[in-house]
Each structure stands twice: as structure tokens, then as C-alpha cells.
Amino acid sequence: MLDLFESFCNCDCSVVKGFLLAAFAVGVFKITTLVLSLGTLLVQAYVLPAVSFAKYGGGKGAWAVITGASDGIGKEYALQLAERGFNIVLVSRTQAKLELVAAEIEGKYKRQTRVVAFDAAEDAPENYAVLAKALEGLPVTILVNNVGQSHAIPVPFLDTSEEEMMRIVTLNNIVTMKITRVVAPVIVANVGKATKLRGLILTMGSFAGLVPSPLLCVYSGSKAFLQNWSTSLAGELKPDGVDVELVISYLVTSAMSKIRRASFTIPNPHRFVASTLRNVGRRVGAQERYATVTPYPAHALMHWGIENSAGVYSKIVNKINFVMHTTIRARALKKAARAAAADTAKKQS
């Protein structure tokens, strides 16, 4: 190593200058791209006005299809798209909950609704037939793939039951693709030069798909699958006038996350969906990814920071996730043990 250094010092001065200039140019280029990407993130997240949904048919009689629409993020998509002038097809498992959301939309926003009771865990052919029937004659221009499932608690892959594994893959991947195969042709038929409208397909991703997540292996893999599937679909449907985007989120207060209190990094569903719809067509935190948006400002900064420091596939990020999920699992198991003990004591008393 010392000999190499001495050789470098004793070589022709022009060679040294050339090397230093090349290193300086590379450094300037790297710093410039980092500054530009961070600047773009901040402008998109905090400065630019909200995207207009008129190009997708807002206020023009167009319809949006929302899956997982009875609660949480899905319900917020339905309410906020109705506010932007869309009639709504609500798709979820429980008929009664769907009817309550439909009544709220019709009463508050004066929009039409249709409800489709669809148990996505079953992946039954008749579900897709019912959905296709409900869409007949509707000028649908938007699909939001929101339905999804995670693990009950962090769990080693070798301890994951086959039932849980298949439920996660079925809901997050199989059902999402099959619903898209039903709805996307309807969207394509309703957009383009004849209508002067564009179509939109949003699919919910996750930081668990962005960053490999030990103890959430199946969920993490299922969300990573959605990244490549959705981005590939974006390339296919762009010529047909349909925008396809994967929406990446960190934690949001919801039944699935089991987090009730919102914070700077953990928004409630209303704030998260508002950020998403505000930034459709922009990347915000997903500066390095095509047809992908990390819309919520705090999540965007986290995404950008990970990508431009250790890297999303780095050993250190993997280790941090492993330690975090190990701690969460330990707490969940202790809580379950206390609940079981209390239940046993109650039965014996």
C-alpha cells in the first residue's frame, strides 16, 4: 500500500492533476444531484399546489373504485375522492360498514355510490364476477388498490403458519392483481383522446417493501412484489392514458398498524390520504423510482435519507429492522401472556 502511495506521488504532475480534477468533478456531480433531489422533494412536499383531479374526471361524472373502503385509509380515499367530485364504488368485506360510508358520501358530498361486499381473503371467482357486474355502464377512471394484510405480530419466517403466509400473499398480491384485471380494462375504455380524460391506478405499498424487513418476511416480500408489478404496469398502461403509481408509506394510525396516536412521523389516515392525492404524479420522497410516490412529508424525508445514506438494501438497515421487530415481538408476546394469565385467573375465580 505504501509503495502504491509513493508511486502515485512520484508520477507525472499532469496525471495527478487529471486524477484530482476527475475526483472533484465526480464529487461536485454527486453533491449537485443530492441537492437537486432533496430540493425537489421539499418543493413537492411543501410548496407546489395540490394536483387537480379534473384530468381524471373529477366533477364530470367519473367514478372511482376503492378496495378496503370501509375503514381507515380506504375510507379516507373514498371520502376525499368524493370531495373532489367522483362517484364512488366501495369494495370491502362487510356490507353494513360499506352502507354507512356510502350514506356519508351521498349525504355530505351529494355523489352517487355503489357497494360491493367482497371477502378478499376467499379469492372466490364469484367475487370478481360481482365486481365486474357492478361496474357495467359506469365511466370508471380511478382504481385505488388499498386492500392488504400484514402479520399479527412480527414472526420468524420458519415459525409463520402456512395459513398466515397464504392469507398475506393472497390479499396483497393475488387479489390486488385480479381486481386490477377487472377494473383496468374499464378505465382504459373510459379515457384517452375521445374523452380527453386520463385514468389513474394507485396501489398501496409500504416501507416494509422498500426496506427488507426481518420478522415480517412474507409481508415485506409481498409489498416488494407490488413495487415491480406496479412500476411495470405503469409502463404498459401509459400509452393508453392511464397513470399507475405505487404509494409508499411508513406507519399510519390504523387497525393494521395497531397504532392509535398520531405523531410527526405517523399521520392519521386523513392526513396521509390528503398528502397522497395532493401529490399524485410526483415522486416526493421516491426520487429514484419511476411511477412511485412517497407522499407524506415525514415519510418522504425518511425514504430520501435511507436511500442516500446506508441504502435500502444495506446490512445496517436490515439489522436495525431486525432489532426493532425483535423488540416489538417480545412486547407483543408478553402482552399476550399477561392476557392469557388474566383470562385463566378469571375462569378459575
Domain ranges of the chain: 47-312
Concerning whether 219 is annotated as a catalytic residue, the answer is yes
The DSSP line for 215-282 is T-HHHHHHHHHHHHHHHHHHHHHGGGTEEEEEE-----SBTTTTB-S--SSS--HHHHHHHHHHTTT-
pLDDT given for residue 244 in this prediction: 98
What's the rounded mean pLDDT across residues 57-85? Answer: 97
| Number of neighbouring beta carbons within 10 Å of residue 269 | 20
What's the rounded mean pLDDT across residues 286-310? Answer: 97
What mean pLDDT value characterizes the chain? 93
Residues 56, 77, 109, 219: which is the catalytic one?
Answer: 219
Distance CA 348, CA 60 (A): 64
State the pLDDT confidence band at 7, using cuts at 50, 70 and 90: low
Q: Which CATH class is domain 47-312?
A: alpha beta
Distance CA 126, CA 303 (A): 39
Distance CA 338, CA 347 (A): 14
Distance CA 333, CA 340 (A): 10
What's the rounded mean pLDDT across residues 15-38? Answer: 82
pLDDT given for residue 10 in this prediction: 58
Residue 37 marked as a ligand binder: no
* pTM given for the model: 0.91
